[in-house]
Structure 1
Amino acid sequence: MKPKKTHMVTLVTENGNKRVKVHETVSTWVVGQRESYMKENGKRNGSPTSQRRILLDTLTPIVILPPLFTTA
């Protein structure tokens, strides 16, 4: 079973910025199976010269709101 995405963050790519969902591990933010970023500086793991980064100050939790109306 895949881990649930718990936060939204802005990812800086060569084509511009985009918002992605991530989940948290002990030392990284994980976007997908082969893409993770270090918590302390936002750099991509395994590719230190890559220009891809996450902006840590844009990190926000995903909040699930209850439904406004219930049908009987």
Structure 2
Amino acid sequence: MTQELEARITELEMTVTHQERTISELSDVVAEQWTRIEVLMRELTRLDETKADAEPEDEANRRPPHY
């Protein structure tokens, strides 16, 4: 192999290594974000249930439909 070809192969190997590291980091970020999304979805469900369990509003205190 010529020195130029070896240099090109080395450069390609370095590029692939960098891309593999970036993909791994991005995968970790996606996994962390998904965990946060799941926590937020559970919290939203809990808040929704809490609101549904609250006492219904008295008709006299209910806002008119145009609000």
- The two structures have a TM-score, normalised by structure 1, of 0.19
Q: Which has the larger radius of gyration?
A: 2
More helix by share: 2
Normalised TM-score (structure 2)? 0.20
> Relative to total residues, which structure has the larger strand share, 1 or 2?
1
